Amino acid sequence: MDDPRLTLSGIPLSPVYGEGPLPGEYPYTRGVHTDMYRSRLWTMRMFAGFGTATDTNGRFRELLRSGSTGLSTAFDMPTLMGRDSDHPWSLGEVGRAGVAVDTVEDMSDLFADVDLGGVSTSMTINGPAAILLAMYVVVAEQGGVDRDRLAGTLQNDILKEYQAQKEYIFPPRPSVRLVTDVIRFTAAEMPRWNPVSVSGYHIREAGSTAVQELAFTLANGFAYVEASVAAGLDVDAFAPRLSFFFNSHVDFFEEIGKFRAARRIWARWLRDRYGAVDERSLKLRFHTQTAGVSLTAQQPETNIARVAIQALAGVLGGTQSLHTDSHDEALALPSEAAARTALRTQQVIAHETGVTGVADPLGGSAYVEWMTDEVERRAEEIFAHLDEIGGGSILEGVHEGIQSGWFMGEIAESAYRFEREVNAGDRIVVGVNAFTEGNGGSGADLLRVGQETEDDQLARLAAVRSGRDSEAVAASLRRVVADATDPEVNLMPSLIEAVRARTTVGEIVEALEGVFGTYVETAVI
């Protein structure tokens, strides 16, 4: 090896230990790359967004200066739900829990002075994901960066919205069509873009167990594979760009087993069930975020330790990118100082602990291998259930599980079980039901986003509305409606044309609702 790593005491290390299959070899249980972090560290991708586009742009540039290697955008609730800032439902939520984006002008300000050809960007958005991708493409092209050079990830995972996060707009079937439109578009025109980040994070945050998180997420992934194949794509034309997003919770070895099992299951299913032959289609790549729900409002500094341990589990599980939560997240949106500490936590793991010197350092541990097998076995039971209720189709099984409320009931049950265990003292949460000395009176400097942000954003939106060509806007919406009506047509070109005309997110969403309808869930508690 031309890059011998040494321990702190000077002991030389091999890049990997143990017998095959090694990291980089099918079924990739031990990792998707041969030497993992020796050749390339994970991407330190911190999720950020608040206020107006200009506010968030400032945070982005600060994160890049501090050594972040990718960007990740949090949109505010109205944007996530496809509503304009001046919609009555948006009152009180504009720019509060993410950045407000109404038009391509906001997107342009969001990425001002950021080299879109050089950085990779993740956008956490689902219901209106195709519209936001269209905006990103237009902003990049205005800055002279062609779409085929853009690198990044669109979350665009609508199925888990019905199951867990609840940021849906249209009913499931037309929503899945929008997902496959994006997959077809990026497969043809954006080779460096991940069109879907199949996400377990929100399923877990909503209360699921690790096994449910894994199984529901991979089932959703299989569903997108089936939907894309049904839309006419060859599996190897898009599967290499599907990416995943998992939670790293606090039960250390269960999490590591989950990440390892995820890779093995995906590789086997893609090869054996879906007939993928390209090795890249079989490799499950994932982003990890530490578990926001595990953070406590009590003694919030304790969260720094939780985050470090959870981040380490993600790294030992072989993640490709990582967001570490800020310790003040149970109190408010992350402050800049807390976000910096969270990034520093990753840098300590990457540069001081030595865990990057050897690929899959836990591989071969009897306990870790057993846990990996056990998590896999339990996940397979869930796939068998979905396959059965779907009549031999995971896609149909997932649709059925959403329609019947099965996923939501399973998640709510697990969430309640956990709360009962904590309440009964069967499960210790430090600072909450044990070791509570020192609780109370957090003097932390919290990030505050006030009403003035909403007022600013309303003024920005009004200015765009009055300065645009209203005939071009109306024409663009007519084309969106016409294209939406024909399921054979890909909506992306008409969405790009619409956002270029400064048509708002809300106007496009309402036009699409006219064709697709609006989803209302039957609450399951």
Partner 1 sequence: MVDTGLPIRVVLAKLGLDGHDRGLKVVARMLRDAGMEVVYLGLRQTTDNIVAAVEQEDADVVGISMHNAGHLTLGPLIVKALDEAGLAVPVVIGGIVPDADLPELEAAGVAAVLGPGASVEEVVSTVRSAAGRDGST
Nearer to partner 1, 405 or 514 (CB): 405
Burial of 35 from C-beta contacts in 10 A (0-12 / 13-18 / 19+): buried
Residue 293 in the binding site for partner 1 (CB under 8 A): yes
Residue 434 in the binding site for partner 1 (CB under 8 A): no
Strand partners, 151: 120
Residue 36 is classified by DSSP as G
Q: Which of the ranges 99-107, 202-210, 350-358, 399-407 carries the binding residues for partner 1, by CB under 8 A?
A: 202-210
Q: Which residue has the tokens 């990753």?
A: 346
Residue 166 in the binding site for partner 1 (CB under 8 A): yes
**Cα 31 to the center of its chain, rounded Å:** 20
Residue 180 in the binding site for partner 1 (CB under 8 A): no
Residue 501 in the binding site for partner 1 (CB under 8 A): no
Residue 80 in the binding site for partner 1 (CB under 8 A): yes
First to last CA, the chain: 56
Burial of 400 from C-beta contacts in 10 A (0-12 / 13-18 / 19+): middle
Q: How far is the CB of 259 from partner 1 (least distance, A)?
A: 23
Nearer to partner 1, 54 or 296 (CB): 296
Residue 404 in the binding site for partner 1 (CB under 8 A): no
Residue 428 in the binding site for partner 1 (CB under 8 A): no
Give the three-state DSSP class for 97.
Answer: coil
71 touches 426 (CB < 8 A): no
With contacts defined by CB under 8 A, how many residues of the chain interact with partner 1?
A: 43
Q: Which of the ranges 67-75, 114-122, 201-209, 503-511 carries the binding residues for partner 1, by CB under 8 A?
A: 201-209
Residue 81 in the binding site for partner 1 (CB under 8 A): yes
β-bridge pairing 5-6 and 12-13: antiparallel
Alpha carbon distance 434, 19 (integer Å): 43
Residue 505 in the binding site for partner 1 (CB under 8 A): no
Nearer to partner 1, 423 or 485 (CB): 423
Residue 77 in the binding site for partner 1 (CB under 8 A): yes
Strand partners, 243: 197
- Which pairs from 250-253 meet CB under 8 Å and 24+ separation? 250/291, 250/294, 250/306, 250/309, 250/310, 251/210, 252/309, 252/312, 252/313, 253/367, 253/368, 253/371
Nearer to partner 1, 95 or 361 (CB): 95
Q: How far is the CB of 440 from partner 1 (least distance, A)?
A: 9
Residue 333 in the binding site for partner 1 (CB under 8 A): yes
Q: Look at residues 294, 304, 348, 346 and name the one whose alpha carbon lies nearest to residue 323.
A: 346
Nearer to partner 1, 360 or 507 (CB): 507
Q: Which residues bind partner 1 (CB under 8 A)?
A: 77-78, 80-81, 83, 89-93, 96-97, 161, 165-167, 205-207, 293, 296-298, 330-333, 412, 415-416, 419, 423, 429, 432-433, 441-442, 446, 449, 451, 521, 523, 525
